[in-house]
Chains A and B, each alone.
Chain A
Amino acid sequence: MDSFPLRQKRSSSQNLSALQARLQPYLPTAKYILKRIGIYFLTVLGAVTLAFIFFHLMPGDPLSIVFSQLEKTNLGRVTGGAEVAEAYKRLLGLDQPLPVQYLLFLRNVLIGGFDLGPSFVAFPTSTRDVIFRQLPWTIGYFTSAMLIAWLIGTTIGALLGWLRRIGLTSVAVGIATLLNITPVYIIAIAAIIFFGYHLHWLPTGQPYDPGLTPNWGDIEFIKNVLRHAIMPIASVVLVWGASFSLGMRSLMISVLGEDYLSYAKAKGLTPFMILRDYAFRNALLPQVTALGIALGNTINGVLILEAIFVVPGVGGLFVRAMAIHDFNVMQGVVLLSTVAVLTLSLIVDLLLPFLDPRIRRSND
């Protein structure tokens, strides 16, 4: 605390010292925030480096794999696979020695604004464009689904925890447990078969009717997109909502055993006030962290759902990139999701001091 520059000017100005006195309570917070941000940038750098190392140490030269496989199947499309592979290697910068590639990679990613070079899945479109074209879909479907799941799950979980002694809640807990252990793709497939193929209530896949031309200004088009989004979002909400509600329930139950809860009761507060100000508020803190982690993992979590619902998104892109060993896109997606996880946990870290006053002091 003492090293903060404000301190030195203290004697020279009365005003400043008053200012400093006012700032004093916030100094630990400021220090905490600076420290978190510093750690954040270091981890991002580490993640970028790890992504590079990982994908460049993967066995097999991706280009020659693709081209020699193609040459072998003798499709007549590629003449002289070796030369073509060389041409593409030059184009993708893979002919440089590894350290040079690494430095270029660092420069392009960190300074060049996530420039990962041309993609392979959508050659010659840049990796960044390819990923950012898919990202809104992923966010639209799964981040929003996760938020809905969190809101619903947390509310239900809080109630289940609060009413833990009422026998009927065990039914709800049983259902939630069942949903929680069910893989989301089973729910998704069951939902598609039932509501899509049997009842014909909802479309079975695709982001919107394939006959439509996308037009985001058209309310009919947006309605169509929303109709198609019901099932993907609902299956995430069902499974993740169950998981969030179970988590919240056990947090609630542990909070309900705390001394300050019986003290609050002794004070004669109404059950509603206790629920709101004492139980829910306190249980919410770890639950916010859980949301941050779940959101950060969206990209990893949605892979299978995108395939099942045949909707665009980063997960499907990653699968396609894997299929043809597209280094650049794979790196990009992995980096993006790592950075997403890191950023969200940074946001949670930065938010927590405002939610939980203890953190401002502790953790220096």
Chain B
Amino acid sequence: MTPIMQIRDLSVGYASRRAVGLAVTSVNLDVEKGEILGVVGESGCGKTTLAVALLGLIESPGVIQSGSVQLRLADDKLVDLVGLAPRPLRQIRWKEIAYIPQGSMSALNPVLRVRQQMTDTLVQHGLSKAEAIERARWALNLVSLDAAVLDKYPHELSGGMNQRVAIATAVTMQPAILVADEPTTALDVVTQRSILQELVKIRDQFGTTIIVISHDMGVMAQVVDRMAVMYAGRIAELGLVLNIFDAPLHPYTQKLIGSIPKDTGQHLEGLEGEAPSLWAYPPGCRFHPRCSLATAICREQTPELREIISGQYAACHHCD
């Protein structure tokens, strides 16, 4: 299978007056066509930065330090989203790669009706007004929303409805890839589940590749095929979700899974300490201050992401 997106050595940072702090460091990742890929990690570990970089939306003070994001178009041509000129980038956006933003409540313009916000992109991409509205109705229907929503303002809708609008907006152009950043955060459990089901439905119907970003392992467990665990800007572990939950390789993944509340009511094995700030990463393995297995090598050498078991990768000196 050929990956639809190839991320190579991607480093994205934020510039301060003095230096650039890398929120995403040397990330290598292949996204397979039609899969649902999860990116998971504690808050602040660079998930949103990664997502934004995939859309070519990094803006000052953000800077792409290195790397490439190769997107395979329908005609098998590869384009590098990094460094693409604004005009072709605009065309690729939404048509090839659409985005469901974190916190759709604030991502929708409060003073415009849903109708305008859903259709302006379509008109921009060459549809007629009527076609655009037709498409919007269809998309709303897809996410189980009434077409009356079109005449509403965002503040007149509930959080779940707003999220559905965002999803519907994202599928209007039937993009090849959908990046959903924390699609369920701030929603109640029932709504969370139905939103996730909408995503699965979209993948199943249209074969859309979906990248789901969340800090919530529970979300991963529910919908994701493969997942990448991020820690402090780097990928710590990558593999099929079932395998990872079964046998997490990386000590960080183990702790993450350990901290999921279980119905058995056993004592939670929480994560101690804090994730490092992007201005002061520890040398060597960035996890070593919090890692119980850390040794001298961990403090000196950065572990590479290696295939430990077939299809399961981890970046750790001591997980063989």
- List A residues at the B interface (Cβ < 8 Å): 165, 258-260, 262-270, 273, 277-278, 281-282, 285, 355-358, 361
A266/B109 in contact, CB under 8 A: no
**The residue from A267, A357, A361 contacting B120, defined by CB atoms under 8 A apart:** A267
User: Does B74 make an interface contact (CB < 8 A)?
Assistant: no
- List B residues at the A interface (Cβ < 8 Å): 52, 55, 57, 59-60, 89-95, 98-99, 101-103, 106-112, 116, 120-121, 124-125, 153, 155-156, 169
**The residue from B93, B111, B124 contacting A356, defined by CB atoms under 8 A apart:** B111
Given the known A-B contacts A259-B106, A277-B109, A355-B111, are A266 and B57 also in contact in the complex, defined by CB atoms under 8 Å? yes
Between-chain CB contacts (< 8 Å), 9 pairs: A259-B103, A266-B98, A267-B93, A267-B124, A268-B121, A269-B120, A269-B124, A270-B124, A281-B111
Across-interface contacts of A355 in B (CB, < 8 A):
111
B124/A259 in contact, CB under 8 A: no
Number of A-B contacts (CB under 8 A): 82
A357/B155 in contact, CB under 8 A: yes
Whole-angstrom distance from the CB of A270 to the nearest CB of chain B? Answer: 7
Given the known A-B contacts A268-B91, A278-B109, A357-B110, are A259 and B155 also in contact in the complex, defined by CB atoms under 8 Å? no
A268/B125 in contact, CB under 8 A: yes
Beta-carbon nearest neighbor of B106 in chain A: A259
Across-interface contacts of B55 in A (CB, < 8 A):
266
A259/B120 in contact, CB under 8 A: no
Across-interface contacts of B60 in A (CB, < 8 A):
165
Beta-carbon nearest neighbor of A361 in chain B: B155
Across-interface contacts of A265 in B (CB, < 8 A):
57
**The residue from A268, A270, A282 contacting B109, defined by CB atoms under 8 A apart:** A282
How many angstroms from the CA of A237 to the CA of B91 in the assembled complex?
42
Whole-angstrom distance from the CB of A209 to the nearest CB of chain B? Answer: 49
How many angstroms from the CA of A245 to the CA of B90 in the assembled complex?
30
How many angstroms from the CA of A269 to the CA of B118 in the assembled complex?
12
Across-interface contacts of A259 in B (CB, < 8 A):
101-103, 106-107
Across-interface contacts of B90 in A (CB, < 8 A):
268-270
Beta-carbon nearest neighbor of B90 in chain A: A268
How many angstroms from the CA of A278 to the CA of B112 in the assembled complex?
8
How many angstroms from the CA of A264 to the CA of B94 in the assembled complex?
11
Whole-angstrom distance from the CB of A361 to the nearest CB of chain B? Answer: 6
A263/B107 in contact, CB under 8 A: yes
How many angstroms from the CA of A258 to the CA of B91 in the assembled complex?
23
How many angstroms from the CA of A329 to the CA of B119 in the assembled complex?
58
How many angstroms from the CA of A355 to the CA of B153 in the assembled complex?
12
How many angstroms from the CA of A266 to the CA of B95 in the assembled complex?
11
How many angstroms from the CA of A267 to the CA of B60 in the assembled complex?
19
Across-interface contacts of B111 in A (CB, < 8 A):
281-282, 285, 355-358
Across-interface contacts of A264 in B (CB, < 8 A):
109
How many angstroms from the CA of A357 to the CA of B112 in the assembled complex?
8
Question: Shortest 9 CB-CB distances between A and B: which pairs?
Answer: A268-B93, A263-B107, A357-B153, A267-B121, A259-B106, A266-B99, A260-B109, A268-B90, A259-B107
